[in-house]
A and B are shown apart, each in its own frame.
Chain A
Amino acid sequence: MSTVQFLMDGFATAFQWHNLLFAFAGVVIGTAVGVLPGIGPMSGVALLIPVTATLTSGLPAEAAAASSIILLAGVYYGAMYGGSTTSILLNTPGESSSVVTTLDGYQMAKQGRAGAALSIAAIGSFIAGIVALIGLVLLAQPLSNIALEFGPAEYFSLMLLGLAAVSGLAGNSMTKALIMTIAGLLLATIGIDAVSGIARFTYDIPVLFSGIEFLTIAVGLFALGEVFKTILEKDEEDENIAKINRIFPTKQDLKDSTPPIIRGSLLGFFIGVLPGAGATLASFFSYITEKKVSKNPEKFGKGAIEGVAAPESANNAASGGAMIPLLTLGIPGSGTTAILMGALIMYNVQPGPLLFEENPDVAWGLIASMFIGNLMLLVLNMPLVRVFAKIIQTPKKYLLPIIVAISVFGVYAVQFATFDLYLLIGCGLLGYLLSKNDYPVAPLVLALVLGPMIENNMRRALTISNGEFSIFLTSPLSLVFLIAAAAWLLVPLLLKLKGRQVIINEED
């Protein structure tokens, strides 16, 4: 069957009424998550996994997986739309990927052009989303065909590359990022070993036999960690929200922002495809690019619409691009895609090249739903932007305790064990302490998800080669991956030694 045929089947899945509902719920919640400072896409997606798991419990396994991934992905890209709202209206980014939007967005709002800034952000996000999706559709089949040729040695090296990329770019200290990665890999070894059936590090404690649940760790580290941080550090403050006058941009605005949107979309897409470099980096780069390309760069920082259009397109394109390595290779390139991958694995759906053959409903249904979801977001974000702006005023008093309660409910509903609830609170504390002290938590979650796969592929490769470790070097592809992985770690280190500033990726 051709790609077009698959895509049409995907639309058939996506247009089922409950999937439309799931996509809609996903993008609405995503926008809300984006608007609310304090909950990022990672904690939003992690919090919703157990909720979707219970909502889809009546459906057959594959349909349930398709529906929940449609919702969860909706939260992810919806958050990219919503993130711009607070940046523009409050000068407080809702997500790290919207930090650069504050530079010009808030200035525009101060000049009474908040509506134009918001709508350009929405239009840019929409175009970028569609560009990224077209890229995804075109690349999905060829990439997964290549990936089908991979043996265990190639997979092992490719996953190492993924981990190296995320660790190399996360946080200020690479030592800390690597420590977190290794800690995640070690956590993943707890439980019964899938290959030999031997219990490792369980000490006859029954709850440990099935291993440490990724969901508990992710919700604890991200959602609870954020809540604890906000309770401890945020002071009550009166926030001035800029008024929105007219929503639609003028012709001149549209003309000014078309090239930046296109550049931002393409740049964001390619940065998103690379593992490790997420939406934050994409928005940052596209802002710098626009400033370089612009005829009058002094305009930037004083309310240039290009400075809103480009980064907002780029972060959305990057979130679409990040789906490519996840779906075709089974390798998440960022914290949020790692959580999406964990969700798929919970449904016994293994992302990777076989996904398109074994679960075409899930893969193509998701892609088709993203077209629909982006359209919904455009409609939601243009006329309803005032409604979403109201969400900013949700009092923290109610929001924070309710996030704790949802976390507890979600983890308990999936795990049925108080052990996981204690672990949840413990992870919340650790998450707060670690990220406060510059220990990035995203690599840990990524390593926890990838850990068992890395180990199994390593052991399979070594079994094939009779224990010769040289198999990773003699296979040319594997060697290339390993060299790239080493370069990803060494190049920033060398640059730092030479005293250069290295751009790092914030968690997203």
Chain B
Amino acid sequence: MKLPFDYIAGLAFLLIGLFFTVESRKISESAYGSAVGPDIFPFVLGLLLLIFSLRLLYETFKKRGAAVKRGNYHYKKFFIILISAILYVSLLETIGYILSTFLFLLVAFQTMERRGIVKSILVSAAFSFGVYLLFVELLGGVLPRLPLF
């Protein structure tokens, strides 16, 4: 059986709370001239998060057995676009803005719907060149350039 999301989330928040509570103890306690140091606020919040995530786990435990809704999900589309987005981000600084954006958009457009490759190429090219020219040439911004081979 699949674990309900609330369990995982509850445990994750519990760990985050624990992390902040423990780690905030390592921050030096007081700054010069103020009565309360930088450690109190995160410490108290960490504690609160601990308490509420325990409560969430308890609530989830009580509600166990509730039916999990299952719908029709487009996992394939989603993962292709997600992975190409990650690749896009990691290649942005190496192959430059125009090329990476063009490739990402083309792949994503074609993943969404396989028809009309010419139009997809045109739209991706127009977007990547357009943004680059507008931003870099007109507004004087900085984006990773196309590397010179």
Contacts and interface: CB of A to CB of B under 8 A. Distances in A.
B112 A401 contact: yes
B46 A186 contact: yes
B11 to A, nearest CB: 12
Contact of B56 (A179, A189, A433): A179
A401 B108 contact: yes
Interface stretch (A1-9, A228-236, A382-390): A228-236
A25 B116 CA distance: 31
A213 to B, nearest CB: 15
A196 B37 contact: yes
B118 interface: no
A235 B72 contact: yes
B99 interface: no
Contact of B135 (A54, A58, A196, A400): A54
Nearest to A420: B89
A466 B35 contact: yes
B143 A182 contact: no
Nearest to A224: B85
A232 B36 contact: no
A417 B77 CA distance: 27
A200 B38 contact: yes
Contact of B53 (A179, A405, A462): A179
B71 A405 contact: no
A467 interface: yes
A400 B108 contact: yes
B38 A196 contact: yes
A424 B86 CA distance: 10
Contact of A200 (B5, B27, B97, B139): B27
A12 interface: no
Interface string B101-118: 100110011001100000
Given A176-B56, A235-B72, A397-B113, A195 B49 contact: no
A54 B81 CA distance: 27
Interface stretch (A88-96, A280-288, A406-414): A406-414
Given A231-B77, A231-B81, A439-B9, A405 B127 contact: yes
A382 B128 CA distance: 34
Nearest to B56: A175
Given A182-B48, A186-B20, A404-B81, A416 B142 contact: yes
A501 interface: no
A396 interface: yes
A29 to B, nearest CB: 16
B108 A409 contact: no
A418 interface: yes
Question: Which of B49, B89, B101, B135 has most chain A Cβ within 10 Å?
Answer: B89
Interface residues of B, number: 64
Contacts of B108: 400-401, 404
A198 B27 contact: yes
A424 B85 CA distance: 11
Interface string A40-62: 00000000000000110110000
A459 interface: yes
Interface in B15-33: 16, 20, 23-24, 27-28, 31-33
A455 B41 CA distance: 7
B42 A201 contact: yes
B78 A232 contact: yes
Given A397-B113, A418-B93, A433-B5, A189 B34 contact: no
A343 interface: no
A189 B135 contact: no
Interface in B70-88: 71-75, 77-78, 81-82, 85-86, 88
A148 interface: no
B92 A195 contact: no
A398 interface: yes
B89 A421 contact: yes
A189 B46 CA distance: 11
Contact of A463 (B35, B53, B142): B35
A403 to B, nearest CB: 10
A398 B109 contact: yes
A467 B35 contact: yes
Interface string A185-209: 1100100010111101100000000
Contact of A198 (B35, B38, B41, B59): B38
B15 to A, nearest CB: 12
Interface in A65-84: none
Contacts of A409: 97, 101, 131, 135, 143
Contacts of B74: 231-233
A388 B48 CA distance: 47
A178 interface: yes
Interface of A: 54-55, 57-58, 173, 175-176, 178-179, 182-183, 185-186, 189, 193, 195-198, 200-201, 228, 231-233, 235, 395-398, 400-402, 404-405, 408-409, 412-413, 416, 418, 421-422, 424-425, 429, 433-434, 436-437, 439, 455, 458-459, 462-463, 465-467
18 contacts: A173-B56, A179-B13, A179-B53, A182-B48, A182-B49, A183-B49, A186-B45, A196-B31, A397-B112, A401-B81, A402-B105, A405-B127, A408-B85, A409-B97, A413-B141, A433-B5, A437-B9, A467-B35
Given A179-B52, A405-B101, 9 more contacts: A173-B56, A175-B56, A182-B45, A182-B49, A186-B45, A200-B27, A232-B77, A455-B41, A459-B36
A-B complex: 4 closest residue pairs judged by Cβ atoms: A196-B31, A401-B108, A467-B35, A397-B112
